[in-house]
Amino acid sequence: MAKWKVFVTRIIPEAGLRLVLENCDAEVWQEETPPPREILIEKIRDCEGVLTLLSDRIDGEVMDSAPKLRVISNYAVGYDNIDVAEATKRGIMVTNTPGVLTETTADLAFALILATARRIVEADKYTRKGLWKTWGPMLFLGRDVHGATLGIIGLGRIGQAVARRAKGFNMRILYYGLRRNEEAERELGAEFRNLHSLLREADIVTIHTPLTEETYHMIGEKELSLMKPTAILVNTARGAVVDQKALYKALKEKRIFGAGLDVYEKEPIDKDDPLIELDNVVLLPHIGSASVETRTRMAIMAAENLIAGLRGEIPQNLVNPEVLER
Ligand code: GLV
Ligand code: GLV
């Protein structure tokens, strides 16, 4: 059987890795941090396939260094780390892992909503430090999540999964997106708003759009200024959808109540990032899809996409079907 040469840019869960190793002549990067660009370029020189993470930037120059490359299988639903137009030009298929991580990511978005509104992390630190003297009428007053108005930016798979959770909390659901989704409006009782109206009305704003040229810095100083002083912003999508400097300023000046972040403009954030000094923000290290079950499903899906593409089949999760028309 043919053994295609492939490079896997990090150790992924065993079930997926095994599939790759059984079907391909694969080299797996063993370090905990991504292969540096020069090394990545070197490693994929003779490869027909590469299994990448969102921390690998794959642009035209990288692709040019791998003339045999036919498939880039991204171990993530988001694929803003890959220049898809450049891949299509070169006849390279790009795949992602949608669907399998929807519910897990929605769980994390909800965890951030609750943690930020009820000041969970701050209160935990306080308890551990031994600062707790007595039950206090004014101790760690947060904001109610139940019954609040939730503004969802991007009512795709993940946005809808968050809306289903919000229904259980008796929340009013507003959404903004490029397209109206009338079925979801009926099923979830979600009401469409333009972005500015959503920001003005919502108590909690949660972001679920991919990062594209259109969504880059979609939430900046102006948008933050429209939010209520009691409002919360949660981002589990991509950091650059929010202008992080503007968000820092809004949090520092307490122009909004708080923020819950899983994603940043630059990941990891620096040890001395000013956000770290603030109490009204919950900071997570991009763990939206990080459950044992989901990461295993993502690994299998990424492996299957890679192998299908190498076999000359159409992978299940091809993001650039236009590549087939070349
Ligand atoms: C994670 O952020 C993903 O896109 O899968
Ligand atoms: C991603 O899975 C989305 O469409 O929300």
Q: What is the mean pLDDT of residues 277-292?
A: 98
Residue 118 is among the residues annotated as catalytic for this protein: no
Residues 6+ apart with CB under 8 A from 287: 108, 262
Mean pLDDT is lowest, of 72-81, 176-185, 249-258, for 176-185
CB 288 less than 6 A from any atom of ligand 1: yes
- pLDDT at residue 1, as a whole number: 56
Residue 286 is among the residues annotated as catalytic for this protein: yes
Annotated catalytic residue, options 14, 31, 187, 267: 267
pLDDT at 140 over 90: yes
Residues 6+ apart with CB under 8 A from 193: 151, 174, 175, 176, 201
Average pLDDT score over the chain: 97
Give the confidence band of 251 by pLDDT, cuts at 50, 70, 90: very high
CB 238 less than 6 A from any atom of ligand 2: no
Ligand 1 atom with the smallest distance to the CA of 263 is 2
Residue 217 is among the residues annotated as catalytic for this protein: no
- pLDDT at residue 253, as a whole number: 98
Ligand 2 atom with the smallest distance to the CA of 160 is 5
pLDDT at 2 over 90: no
Alpha carbon of 65 to ligand 1 centroid (Å): 26
Mean pLDDT is lowest, of 2-6, 45-49, 256-260, 316-320, for 2-6
CA distance 239 to 316: 27
CB 158 less than 6 A from any atom of ligand 2: yes
**Whole-prediction pTM value?**
0.96
pLDDT tens readout for residues 142-167? 999 999 999 999 999 999 999 999 99
Alpha carbon of 236 to ligand 1 centroid (Å): 9
Distance set, CA 89 to CA 51, 54, 71, 82 (Å)? 19, 21, 13, 13
pLDDT at 285 over 90: yes
CB 54 less than 6 A from any atom of ligand 1: yes
The structure tokens listed for 237 are 């999508």
Annotated catalytic residue, options 10, 238, 295, 297: 238
pLDDT at 94 over 90: yes
CA distance 132 to 142: 17
Q: Which ligand is nearest to the CA of 239?
A: 1
Q: What is the mean pLDDT of residues 172-199?
A: 96
- pLDDT at residue 279, as a whole number: 97
